[in-house]
Chain A
Amino acid sequence: QQQVKQSPQSLIVQKGGIPIINCAYENTAFDYFPWYQQFPGKGPALLIAIRPDVSEKKEGRFTISFNKSAKQFSLHIMDSQPGDSATYFCAAAYSARQLTFGSGTQLTVLP
């Protein structure tokens, strides 16, 4: 019930491509869905987050698509750059409690 499943495990795209990372959850009580970016040796940094009352949220080059009925959400990175190469984690939480993280996606953007 608490699990958040993330795919793919790794992803390689060319510069300018649009990598898409997907997450699925089971617990319908989740009401907060953030995405984090983590560089090697650093803590995660919040990229963008969404609540289940909207189907899409865009901030800069990052877009979250949310499908409440399917219990899925995804991260799209527009015009990806080599500097976007990092590990991305989706997460979910409910009632402002602790985050449940996905397993992570290692993204490589080739120049």
Chain B
Amino acid sequence: GAVVSQHPSWVICKSGTSVKIECRSLDFQATTMFWYRQFPKQSLMLMATSNEGSKATYEQGVEKDKFLINHASLTLSTLTVTSAHPEDSSFYICSAKGRLNTEAFFGQGTRLTVV
């Protein structure tokens, strides 16, 4: 399958700072990228969907000013958690899909800990 690389795999930041997570499709053009949040022993919760060159569509209850998503190219999307707080600590996962594919390929996830 296609490869989606997510970086960093883990990050610790201080409360009030911002942190950026990158999601790259390495061998295909990702026309659509998805960002998920996963709490321990729970399912993946979709946060937002982004199409290349367009503004992201956020799910209900997700603060778009807090979770900034940029999908400026066909191989890169970024999620920036602004003014992070301890309750933002979670496992963030991206997935990417090409224009003709139904299958979405997942990154390895980023463990964010806000202290």
Residues of A whose CB lies within 8 Å of any CB of B are 32, 34, 36, 41-46, 49, 89, 93, 96, 98-99, 101-104, 106
Contacts A89-B43, A89-B44, A104-B42; is A96 near B106 (CB within 8 Å)? Answer: no
Distance between B75 CB and nearest chain A CB, rounded to angstroms = 17
Binary CB contact string for chain B from 84 to 115 against chain A (1 if under 8 A, 0 otherwise): 00000001010101000111111111010000
- 6 smallest A-B Cβ distances: which pairs? A43-B106, A43-B109, A43-B108, A101-B43, A96-B102, A43-B93
Q: Which of A43, A44, A101 contacts B6 (CB 8 A)?
A: A43
* 25 A-B pairs in the complex with CB atoms less than 8 angstroms apart: A32-B102, A41-B91, A41-B109, A42-B108, A42-B109, A43-B4, A43-B6, A43-B93, A43-B106, A43-B107, A43-B109, A44-B106, A46-B1, A46-B105, A46-B106, A93-B102, A96-B97, A98-B34, A99-B46, A99-B104, A101-B43, A102-B43, A103-B42, A103-B43, A106-B41
A97 to B8: give the CA distance in the assembly, Å.
27
Say yes or no: B103 contacts A41, CB within 8 Å.
no
A44 to B49: give the CA distance in the assembly, Å.
17
Say yes or no: A44 contacts B103, CB within 8 Å.
no
Say yes or no: A46 contacts B103, CB within 8 Å.
yes
A46 to B95: give the CA distance in the assembly, Å.
11
Q: Which of B101, B106, B111 contacts A41 (CB 8 A)?
A: B111
Chain B interface residue count, Cβ-Cβ cutoff 8 angstroms: 24
Binary CB contact string for chain B from 40 to 55 against chain A (1 if under 8 A, 0 otherwise): 0111101001000000
Say yes or no: B106 contacts A45, CB within 8 Å.
yes
Q: Name A89's closest neighbour in chain B (CB-CB).
A: B43
Q: Name B105's closest neighbour in chain A (CB-CB).
A: A46
